Amino acid sequence: MTEATRIRAPLSGDEVRKLKAGDRVLISGAIYTARDAAHKRLVEALEAGKPLPFDIDGQIIYYVGPCPAKPGQALGSCGPTTSGRMDPYAPALIAKGLRGMIGKGSRQPAVVEAMKKHGAIYFVAVGGAGALAAKTVKKSDLVAYEDLGPEAIRRLEVVDFPAVVCIDTEGNDLYETGKSRYAVS
Amino acid sequence: MRELDVSQVTQAVEEMCVAACYDLPDDVLKAMEKARDVEESEVGRELLDICVENAKVAARERVPICQDTGVTVVFLELGQDLHLVGGDLYEAVAEGVRRGYTTGYLRKSVVADPLFTRKNTGDNTPPIIYTDIVPGERLKIMVVPKGTGSENMSALKMLTPAAGPQGVKKFVVEVVDKAGSNPCPPVIVGVGVGGMMDRAAVMAKKALLRKVGEPHPEPEVAKLERETLKEINDLGIGPQGLGGRVTALAVHIETAPTHIGALPVAVNLQCHAARHAERVL
What is the pLDDT at residue B66?
A: 97
* Mean pLDDT calculated for residue range B203-210: 97
Please tell me whether residues B122 and B173 are part of one structural domain.
no
Please tell me whether residues B223 and B114 are part of one structural domain.
no
B40 falls within a domain: no
Please tell me whether residues B250 and B155 are part of one structural domain.
yes
Q: Is the peptide bond before A10 cis (omega within 30 degrees of 0)?
A: yes
> Which band of pLDDT confidence, cut at 50, 70 and 90, is reported for residue A3?
confident
Q: Provide the 3-class DSSP secondary structure of residue A22.
A: coil
B47 falls within a domain: no
* Mean pLDDT calculated for residue range B216-237: 98
> Which band of pLDDT confidence, cut at 50, 70 and 90, is reported for residue A1?
low
B89 falls within a domain: yes
Q: Which of B7, B70, B1, B12 is nearest to B281 (CA)?
A: B12
Q: Which of B92, B119, B146 is the last residue of a domain?
A: B146
What is the pLDDT at residue A2?
A: 64
Query: How near does any CA of chain A get to the CA of B227, in Å?
Result: 14
Please tell me whether residues B8 and B136 are part of one structural domain.
yes
Helix (H) or strand (E) holding B51: helix B42-61
Residue B276's contacts (CB-CB under 8 Å, 6 or more residues apart) are B20, B25, B142, B143, B144, B145, B208, B209
Please tell me whether residues B153 and B142 are part of one structural domain.
no
| Interface list for chain A against chain B, based on CB atoms closer than 8 Å | 1, 37, 64-70, 73, 76-79, 81-82, 84, 104-106, 124, 126-132, 134-135, 148-151, 164, 174-175, 177-184
What is the pLDDT at residue B197?
A: 97
Query: How near does any CA of chain B get to the CA of A171, in Å?
Result: 16
Beta bridge partners of A26: A6, A162
Q: Which of B126, B146, B166 is the last residue of a domain?
A: B146
Number of domains in chain B: 2
B156-171, pLDDT tens digit by residue? 999 999 999 999 999 9
Q: Are B141 and B14 in contact (CB under 8 A)?
A: no
What is the pLDDT at residue B101?
A: 98
Q: Is the peptide bond before B126 cis (omega within 30 degrees of 0)?
A: yes
ipTM confidence: 0.94
Name residue B148's amino acid: T
Q: Which of B128, B146, B164 is the last residue of a domain?
A: B146
- The pTM of this model reads 0.95
B82 falls within a domain: yes
Please tell me whether residues B158 and B137 are part of one structural domain.
no
A54-74, pLDDT tens digit by residue? 999 999 999 999 999 999 999
> What gap in Å lies between CA B244 and CA A182, rounded to an integer?
5
Q: Which of A2, A4, A158 is nearest to A74 (CA)?
A: A158
Please tell me whether residues B114 and B243 are part of one structural domain.
no
Its domain, for residue B12, covers 2-20+65-146
* Mean pLDDT calculated for residue range A36-65: 97
Alpha helices in A51-166 (DSSP H): 90-95, 109-118, 130-134
Alpha helices in A64-167 (DSSP H): 90-95, 109-118, 130-134
On the question of pLDDT at A13 being above 90, the answer is no
Percent of chain B with pLDDT over 70: 100
Please tell me whether residues B69 and B188 are part of one structural domain.
no
* Mean pLDDT calculated for residue range B31-57: 96
What is the pLDDT at residue B260?
A: 97
- Going through A10-152 in order, the beta strands assigned E by DSSP cover 24-33, 60-62, 100-103, 121-124, 137-144
CB pairs under 8 A between A and B: 160
Residue of chain A whose Cα is closest to the Cα of B65:
A131
What is the DSSP secondary-structure string of B1-14? -EEEEHHHHHHHHH
CATH architecture of A5-181: Alpha-Beta Barrel (3.20)
* Mean pLDDT calculated for residue range B171-181: 97
Query: How near does any CA of chain B get to the CA of A101, in Å?
Result: 15
Please tell me whether residues B251 and B235 are part of one structural domain.
yes
A133-179, pLDDT tens digit by residue? 999 999 999 999 999 999 999 999 999 999 999 999 999 999 999 99
Please tell me whether residues B131 and B236 are part of one structural domain.
no
Q: Are A8 and A14 in contact (CB under 8 A)?
A: no
Please tell me whether residues B180 and B203 are part of one structural domain.
yes
> What gap in Å lies between CA A109 and CA A112, rounded to an integer?
5
- Going through B171-240 in order, the beta strands assigned E by DSSP cover 187-195
- Alpha carbon separation from A52 to A38, A89, A95, A99, A139 (Å, rounded): 11, 14, 13, 15, 22
Kindly report the backbone phi and psi dihedral angles of residue B141, in degrees, each rounded to the nearest multiple of 5, phi listed first. Answer: -120, 130
Q: Are B147 and B124 in contact (CB under 8 A)?
A: no
Please tell me whether residues B219 and B89 are part of one structural domain.
no
B53 falls within a domain: no
On the question of pLDDT at B113 being above 80, the answer is yes
| pLDDT, mean over chain B | 97
A121-145, pLDDT tens digit by residue? 999 999 999 999 999 999 999 999 9
DSSP-derived letter for residue A51 is P
Domain ranges of chain A: 5-181
